[in-house]
Structure 1
Amino acid sequence: MPEVAAAPAEVREVLGVPADRAVFEPLTHNPCNGVTAGVWRVTGGDRSAVLKVLTRTKETAVSWAASNDPRHWNFWRREAYVYGAGLAQVWQRYGIRAPRLLECAERPDGDVALWLEDVPGAPATAWSLTRHVDHAHRLGAAQGTVGAGEDTPWLSRRFLRDYTAGKTTGEALLDTDEAWQHPLIRRHFPPGLREDMVRLRHDREWFLTVMESLPRALCHLDQWPANLRADGPDAGVLLDWAFTGDGALGEDLGNYLPDCVFDLFVPAADLPGLAKAAYDAYVQGLRGSGWRGDEALVRLGVCASAVKYDWLAAMMLARADEEPVAYGGEGTVPAELRYRERGLALAYLAEWAAEARLLAPRLGFPEAPSGR
């Protein structure tokens, strides 16, 4: 049994077997996040569960450090509160739920252990495009009905602003000719992408202000295929509610779609078609739930959410000579494939950003700063 997971009483309570008869299988997660001490599938007898240990004492980079501020995007106890308050199940009637909480244990060292249902359904990393579109429809229905939770003190606030503020790797390289002449970059970053990414970084404050001024919704804020599993043919189970909080209507969808490509779950060539179908389904879900707002504001929320990735091009410039590591540090991916797919996806996000700059003034927002 891993030391950080050691809790014989918890194993017996949840699985009904002695701890020495339980098998701990490490699960892929972000090892940089200071909130997460570890994640395991624990099997004992004919039962299994997922154990996630939350902590505030893990040493990590400042950009991923755990926070004691309940409004901070990386508040270390938030996920325990989300489960304990039942908030993780508020979208269940619309076909999106969280794993069932089996036990929440406060440990003597101050850590919190979440014992969760081991969901057997197929991960969204292997879903068809149609299944992704179905999820967008369910998400629209849920966010059109459930309020933003303004009075809940431990939901995150200003997620986009604070999350992106810590992403500075390679920032200076955006204006460096040599970085853009790297063979990998020249082969796979489309013409014009440099100017688009420089402008997106330059306009960051404008985009963030727009996003913070749009209609609000309860948002998961970490929706991507690795955090979603099937729950039968017409529903999904959404994992990892650690960032949950206030966001713009459309922000979760604006995160989900590019992440399908960035981590190689959907080919970049399919992104335009997927994004159109998913957006239409999301709006249909909103309307079906009774939402009667201005659809143009939703479109602006999706397009302006491109600002979440204003740092990604710079980071890729900085790491062009490194072997790309897969999510969770498990193995590598071909550099040519990653740079080609991400280059195309970033170019698509530049189109979103351009659309947001045109749309916002028509809706009463100030115009974006002039291009550099």
Structure 2
Amino acid sequence: MFEPLTHNPRNGVTAGVWRVTGGDRSAVLKVLTRTKETSVTWAASNDPRHWNFWRREAYVYRSGLAQVWRRHGIRAPRLLACVDRPDGDVALWLEDVPGAPATAWPLARHVEHAHRLGAAQGAVAAGENQPWLSQRFLRDYTADRTTGQDLLDDDEAWRHPLVREHFPAGLRADMVRLHHDREWFLTVTESLPRTFSHLDQWPANVRSDGRDSVLLDWAFAGDGALGEDLGNYLPDCVFDLFVPAADLPGLAKAAYDAYVLGLRESGWHGDERLVRLGVCASAVKYDWLTALMLARADDEQVGYGGEDAVSAELRYRERGLTLAFLAEWAAEARLLAPQLGFPEAPSGR
């Protein structure tokens, strides 16, 4: 029996994901492709360094790199088979992990995952010897996400009831500045200490098998800054409504402390301020989200994968509060970077 599983249907590298069941056994089938028609934003690439290189996940699994963090409590599903199909696609047959998804974890379990991630990334280098790992992920991932950017300076867009009622005061100025400072943030992030990174860590991509964190979807894996994966994971807990925005400040502090502890325990002896800068500067990844929300305020709000309607009021309130939290990260990064020898950020408008 083939059961379709929730995934991003817009991504051009994914032909589909299914749970395949026969008798009392099951596996997950994920088919990678480069021929799927989609938008420019999610188009598959033949460039091995591009963030959306279509064969990368197969290489990560076949090389064993997906299991490199296992001794630190983070692993990937076991690869059962990797098959080159006659049509040119690649079929990944993977372990069907039965454990609890991180979408339903208590806060303490997210903190534990952050500790494991710190230990793993403190011990594993960036992996520059693998020619199919992504590079400049933040820069290239955000480059084509331009929907609604002209609305950042549009008074009418900011007067939309969803935006006016649920975005905190001052968020417009903060997000406009973040957009105009984009190049500074990217340059800083690309100059920070490097580590092997998953680059798509969020609760829908993490499960627990009762012992380890099991990390799914390695399609973006490659070079990243220390702290960058954590800086992605934390806001995504709230953006997709897995954790209330009111819990984000406490979760972020506890998770950051746990991540740094993991780094130290793995033998990393660098300046902790560089890690903090990596986390805070990663706020630039979500520069495009404010503009997108302005553009889609009149659209039906649906969940990840296009499934189930989501309350527009709830989504805009929770995302507005999270964007305001990211504005605080950005402000902290602007103060911290010059202390570490980086040029000052551009002056506010």
* Range class of TM-score, shorter chain: over 0.9
Structure 2 residue aligned with 1:251, among 210, 228, 233? 228
Q: Deviations over 1:8-35 (max 9, x none)?
A: xxxxxxxxxxxxxxx0000000000000
Q: Deviations over 1:285-330 (max 9, x none)?
A: 0000010000000000000000000000100000001111110001
Q: Deviations over 1:179-232 (max 9, x none)?
A: 000011011000000000000000000000000000000000000000000021
For structure 2, which runs of at least 5 residues remain unmatched after alignment? none
Structure 1 Cα separation of the partners of residues 46 and 127 of structure 2: 20
- Paired amino acid for 2:89: D
TM norm structure 1: 0.94
Of all paired residues, the percent bearing the same amino acid is 84
Asked if 1:238 corresponds to 2:224, the answer is no
Q: Report the counterpart of residue 10 of structure 1 in structure 2.
A: none
Q: Report the counterpart of residue 346 of structure 1 in structure 2.
A: 323
Asked if 1:24 corresponds to 2:38, the answer is no
Q: Report the counterpart of residue 202 of structure 1 in structure 2.
A: 180
Matches within 5 A, 1:288-367: 288-367=265-344
Q: Report the counterpart of residue 183 of structure 1 in structure 2.
A: 161
Q: Report the counterpart of residue 262 of structure 1 in structure 2.
A: 239
Structure 1 Cα separation of the partners of residues 41 and 183 of structure 2: 19
Structure 2 residue aligned with 1:229, among 207, 222, 245? 207
Q: Report the counterpart of residue 70 of structure 1 in structure 2.
A: 48
Q: Report the counterpart of residue 135 of structure 1 in structure 2.
A: 113
Q: How far off is 1:280 after superposition?
A: 0.1
SS at match of 1:282: helix
Structure 1 residue aligned with 2:66, among 82, 88, 93? 88
Structure 2 residue aligned with 1:170, among 138, 144, 148? 148
Structure 2 Cα separation of the partners of residues 291 and 323 of structure 1: 46
- Paired amino acid for 1:211: T
Please give the root-mean-square deviation of Cα atoms over the aligned residues, in Å.
Answer: 0.4
Structure 2 Cα separation of the partners of residues 326 and 231 of structure 1: 25
Q: Report the counterpart of residue 198 of structure 2 in structure 1.
A: 220
- Paired amino acid for 1:76: W
Q: How far off is 1:144 after superposition?
A: 0.2
Q: Deviations over 1:256-284 (max 9, x none)?
A: 00000000000000000000000000000
Structure 1 Cα separation of the partners of residues 248 and 314 of structure 2: 16
Structure 2 Cα separation of the partners of residues 239 and 183 of structure 1: 37
- Paired amino acid for 1:317: L
Q: Deviations over 1:76-129 (max 9, x none)?
A: 000000000000000000000000000000000000000000000000000000
Q: Deviations over 1:33-54 (max 9, x none)?
A: 0000000000001110000000
Q: How far off is 1:332 after superposition?
A: 1.1
TM norm structure 2: 1.00
Asked if 1:122 corresponds to 2:100, the answer is yes
Q: Which has the larger radius of gyration?
A: 1
Structure 2 residue aligned with 1:284, among 261, 279, 287? 261
Structure 1 Cα separation of the partners of residues 19 and 130 of structure 2: 31
Q: Report the counterpart of residue 15 of structure 1 in structure 2.
A: none
SS at match of 1:144: helix
